Amino acid sequence: MTWKEAIRTILLQNKVGDSYLPMHYRDITDKIIEANLVDSYGKTPANTVSRILTTSVGIFTRVDEGIYTLTMDAQKQAKTHNTTSTKEKTALITNSDKTPCTISKLVPSYGMFWMRDAINWDSAPKLLGVESTGASPIDLSEMRGIYMLYDGREVIYVGQAIDRPIIKRLSEHTKNRLATRWNRFSWFGFDSIHSDSGKIIKQSEVFTSDIHSLANVLEGILIEGLEPRQNRRQGDNFGFEYYQEIDKDVLKDKLLSNLKKL
């Protein structure tokens, strides 16, 4: 089953009576993975789902930020699927879901409250993350952007990583005056991620944005990073959140340490 067919299947199942209910693209992604509807999840399954939802205008329609449902035409065709021919059913599916592209956001990706001790800082540290459960890990070591250091949940430092990637700046903070003062970090990436290969696509040195989008990004970074109690929304121009993948060397060291204790 293609990703487009899988998305349509999940939205068809999300029904109460005769009404098809909208879903967030991340929930759709999780349902597809849970039901094992596609052969391979790749490195960025949520990115793939979001891209197909936004480009398949005749099948899916956006009802809110990140939330989609079937178009009225797609719903009508679904209700009469028992009488439609195979050719008509196939017409709902196009081949564009295999075209790799990246999400168009000022902050295409970000990671929240990652653990310092999940990274091997001894040699060539990596910023490893996964976009969704079941997805392949991505090495985000070349990502540039803004980062925050935390002592527990308190922000103690905010920095930018433009000339050098975020992981390089973080590595420096394991050796400088802040070395003993932080145990977690959050990052907000300006570069895009190729939806098939997972490679970092560097943002142009010069890019334009309207003032509202810029304000949304700044607001979102502050809300996500500081977690003010009265705020419930992030910036509208955020892309995908990545979840930390623990470095294999760190896991190996922890396993050996546990074995020695036995």
Q: Where are the domains of the chain?
A: 3-98, 107-256
Q: What is the pLDDT of residues 16-25, one digit of tens each?
A: 887 888 999 8
Lowest mean pLDDT among 22-26, 45-49, 130-134, 246-250: 130-134
To which H or E segment does residue 38 belong?
A: none
Q: Is pLDDT at 39 greater than 80 in this prediction?
A: yes
Q: Which residues contact 99 (CB under 8 A, 6 or more apart)?
A: none
Q: What is the pLDDT of residues 183-197, one digit of tens each?
A: 999 999 999 888 777
Rounded distance between C-alpha atoms, residue 61 and residue 58, angstroms: 8
Chain-centroid distance of CA 166 in Å reads: 17
Strand partners, 188: 110, 146
Lowest mean pLDDT among 6-20, 111-125, 243-257: 243-257
Q: Give the residue-averaged pLDDT of 3-15.
A: 91
Classify residue 82 by burial, with Cβ atoms within 10 Å: 0-12, 13-18, 19+. exposed
Task: Quickly state the pLDDT bin for 207 (edges 50, 70, 90).
Answer: low
Rounded distance between C-alpha atoms, residue 70 and residue 57, angstroms: 10
Rounded distance between C-alpha atoms, residue 40 and residue 33, angstroms: 9
Most confident of 153-167, 188-202, 211-225: 153-167
Which strand ranges, in their side-by-side order, compose the sheet holding 23-24?
A: 23-24, 67-70, 60-64
pTM of the predicted structure, to 2 decimals: 0.68
Q: Is pLDDT at 125 greater than 50 in this prediction?
A: yes
Q: Which comes out higher in pLDDT, residue 95 or 230?
A: 230
Rounded mean pLDDT of the chain? 82
Which amino acid type is present at position 141?
S
Rounded distance between C-alpha atoms, residue 11 and residue 75, angstroms: 10
Classify residue 99 by burial, with Cβ atoms within 10 Å: 0-12, 13-18, 19+. exposed
* Rg, the chain, Cα only: 21
Task: Quickly state the pLDDT bin for 43 (edges 50, 70, 90).
Answer: confident
Q: Which comes out higher in pLDDT, residue 258 or 201?
A: 201
Fold of 3-98: Arc Repressor Mutant, subunit A (1.10.10)
Rounded distance between C-alpha atoms, residue 221 and residue 235, angstroms: 7
Q: How many CB atoms lie within 10 A of CB 85?
A: 8
Q: Give the residue-averaged pLDDT of 221-226.
A: 83
What's the confidence (pLDDT) of residue 184? 96
Which amino acid type is present at position 138?
I
Q: How many CB atoms lie within 10 A of CB 43?
A: 23
Q: Which comes out higher in pLDDT, residue 63 or 98?
A: 63
Q: Is pLDDT at 228 greater than 90 in this prediction?
A: no
Q: Give the residue-averaged pLDDT of 127-142.
A: 88
Rounded distance between C-alpha atoms, residue 58 and residue 50, angstroms: 15
Tokens representing 209 are 């944005």
In the block, tokens 């065709």 appear at 77
What's the confidence (pLDDT) of residue 173? 97
